[in-house]
Chain A
């Protein structure tokens, strides 16, 4: 019995990845679980230069989820390489480095900085989908052509596996996924947060001081699942599913829909020990149900005709 999975060329001991922006670089969550039990960690979204992120209120609770507008607060890629990468490597989990740019040039510069560390990094996750910064990111990630052009440029600069994290805030995520595939991406990660809003009826102002924010948590799961299914149908490269996953049953749903691995994010903010528990639950599920290879579930969805 095995719960190991592959995302393209990347071997993971199980499909559980901590989603970017919900686990820092692993230090805080290492106080709550043995990170080496996880498939991988995806780093906080890195930018070329350090960012303070947005000011004021950055979180609002919603039914079964939350909005955030952190705005990519991070120490910058140089500080990451100096002080955080080795920590992630030593944690024993797979290392996914999330990269967010304001322009094509930003992505190019960061990929060139990260490429020499290929023996320490399992995959780059190109964040074309942060809804909380004004420039870049989601703008690039909304256009299949812009994605294809940038990914094919980056492809020439690194042979590190490139996973493209897509935004759900588009008309057709299948089209943006196809753009990434055409550019030479190794995998699609979907979905990032959905752009949303919450309003204080007394002050008639948005609760978030950035006015809008990214919605995450169990409330987005049905949307994410449908999008993973759409992407799996549209492209041949693997899909990493993300969006509201909170239990091992959720993981199974995403795998059946087409995900080779999954990312857990918002649930970790509520139950910080849950990801490691889900790893154990998956092993038990396979043992109890006579499933030899968990990875055999990927894409086994049978639609009603």
Chain B
């Protein structure tokens, strides 16, 4: 049998929830077409129930992840970068198949995503030293402020730079000890669908990163109003989407951050690799202790 006679084994794309690859409970699928409109793949069309399941997994994983040493989180994020690097050809191919700009653009995006993970791997055991401090109070107390993980962060990835955008929102959240539920780009969902393979092989504990492919409008409102979500990090939002998020978030006062980055800004290292992108996903805790006998 010559190679050309061989039938290719196609990948079944699934969700990534709690460290496993389930199909959507809804049984629905999304057709992804390539740039010429040719059918390319079928993906899980995640439901609101899938989102809620992912939040349950993320909540369960949150205390353990926050309790890991910062050094350990550093190494796990770096491991993600290693795995992503190893799969960069596959990511480049799937991104180039739907995103305008061709393979060289896609390859640049993937490389930048790897580097972003490396940058935040480095931040995991340092941001606390930049964002926290000791406070000179006018009383015999030792007083200091530390940055702690918030808990569960929902990430709404932009359509633009579907992998780099996603990583740019995900990395700051998880490097600080939060767990994440990611809704990938609806327009270009393939990178989201295979990112689970990176997480699954990087010692990322089950539930720390959960990845959903689906229709963003359907999931935003549930996410915004969900009482067990602590924060939302979104990008590429319309004004109406932003209003939906902020309105729903008032339910339990979850923290909403809407990133307005566009185009080249996703590649601007000064903008993107900054600890002030971690700041919205930590709580500052101030501890007082008497000093003196």
A, B: real partners = no
Chain A positions near chain B (C-beta within 8 angstroms): none
